[in-house]
Chain A
């Protein structure tokens, strides 16, 4: 037994391995957090750019872009109108029949629009925290288009109720539509401006746009080339466990575990959702982008989505 040993015992090795495992265990979440923080700041930067683009549209055209054209859903949304202001003038010029109808030309998914515009993915409107999707991949799109039309991650604020900006009266207590800074554009005389925000609740108290998630497969959430998915409203709290209500022209798959619960019902009610922990990011009328907590009071969240509601509230509570 006098043989001197120059080796580690099993216990010593196990302890060393255990310590290394614990250190790696501490390191990995930290690395993941940094990755997510980087993605989140890019998403926020995109929102800032979007806010500037909306303002530039207002400066150049004297009004904010409407959600969609006078005929509704399918002939282009605000996302087309801001293209010149995110340095995509080429795409804007090639987009055909914005705000038209089936009689005057093709839809968002028509052959030329799909080839030149809507099959492309705009990096500036894509949040790297989320998974990109192109939901319409087959089947008829009136106007003769075929698949691959892209979804994106930012939607404009249509106020505190629904896509159609109508009151939600049932069940009581009702939620009265107090109007957001954008409108559908089906009434050509209502061209909302930034000035309507500043003279209303104030541009620093009103959201212009917020993050949304892209659904998977043929789920049309995040499908912002199409009017009924190009907006969000504040009826549902941020990242709500309540289902989005996708109107019956759309398709959605309820995936509550992926923060994408959904039912199909009219009218559309889409929540702002994100993959960030704790909240969603928004851009306000004054151009500032910030994170809003999931636990914001519903009264504050709805107040900051209306531009002319006259409410008092605190964004941090």
Chain B
């Protein structure tokens, strides 16, 4: 039995070392922070869209994510450094089916289902700070 115990302890120790090696950090290179959050429009989560953080002058990172079921998450290695950003939230309509694939680019822009005040003419700005990396956007 003693030998069995010894082996058990050795294996447990090894497992602890292996698991500890997998721990992640929430800060990326250059002080980048992982960003996450939720987006709702008129009370319901945006099913499919995108969110972009447009850096203000002096800020050296730009980033964003696709929004799926009202959620987004930017990993730390592609995250944002602390600073002020304009936030652009879009959910584009499906383009016309008449576009010819691999042909001339279509002339008409695709319509955004979110009002321009949240994307092209965004009034949303956010300051990213350590400890303030989770954002909840409630658009109406």
Which residues of A are at the interface with B, using a C-beta cutoff of 8 A? 11, 14-15, 18, 22, 72-74, 109, 135-136, 139-142, 149, 163, 170-173, 218, 220, 223, 226, 228, 236-237, 239-243, 247-251, 254, 256, 261, 263-268, 293-295, 297-300, 317
Contacts and interface: CB of A to CB of B under 8 A. Distances in A.
B32 interface: yes
29 contacts: A72-B104, A72-B105, A73-B102, A74-B102, A74-B104, A109-B102, A163-B105, A171-B86, A171-B88, A173-B54, A173-B57, A236-B62, A241-B63, A241-B75, A242-B50, A242-B52, A243-B66, A248-B110, A249-B100, A249-B106, A254-B66, A261-B66, A265-B109, A266-B105, A293-B29, A294-B78, A298-B55, A298-B62, A317-B30
A237 B77 CA distance: 12
Interface string B36-64: 00000000000000101011110011111
A-B CB proximity, top 7 nearest: A248-B106, A297-B60, A249-B105, A171-B122, A247-B105, A298-B62, A295-B29
Contacts of A226: 102
A173 B122 CA distance: 10
Nearest to A261: B66
B88 A298 contact: no
A242 B78 CA distance: 10
Contact of B60 (A239, A248, A263, A299): A299
A30 to B, nearest CB: 15
A264 B92 contact: yes
B101 A11 contact: no
Contacts of A247: 105-106
B61 to A, nearest CB: 6
Between A18, A109, A220, A299, the greatest number of chain B beta carbons within 10 A of the residue's beta carbon is seen for A299
A295 B77 contact: yes
Contacts of B23: none
Nearest to B86: A171
A298 B85 CA distance: 13
Interface residues of B, number: 49
B62 A237 contact: yes
B105 A268 contact: yes
B102 A136 contact: yes
B90 to A, nearest CB: 7
A220 B102 CA distance: 7
Contact of B77 (A261, A267, A294): A294
A191 to B, nearest CB: 23
Given A241-B78, A295-B32, 19 more contacts: A15-B11, A74-B102, A74-B104, A135-B102, A142-B103, A170-B121, A171-B86, A171-B121, A173-B56, A237-B78, A240-B64, A240-B78, A242-B63, A249-B99, A249-B101, A249-B105, A261-B65, A295-B77, A297-B60
A11 B92 contact: no
Given A171-B54, A251-B101, A241 B106 contact: no
Contacts of B14: 22
Contacts of B28: 295
A136 B101 CA distance: 8
Contacts of B56: 173
B116 to A, nearest CB: 8
Contacts of A265: 92, 109-110
Interface in B71-125: 74-75, 77-78, 86, 88, 90, 92, 95-96, 99-110, 119-122
Contact of B11 (A18, A73, A267, A300): A18
B90 A263 contact: yes
A258 B78 CA distance: 15
B4 interface: yes
A14 to B, nearest CB: 8
Contacts of A141: 102
Nearest to A108: B102
B124 to A, nearest CB: 9
A15 B60 CA distance: 52
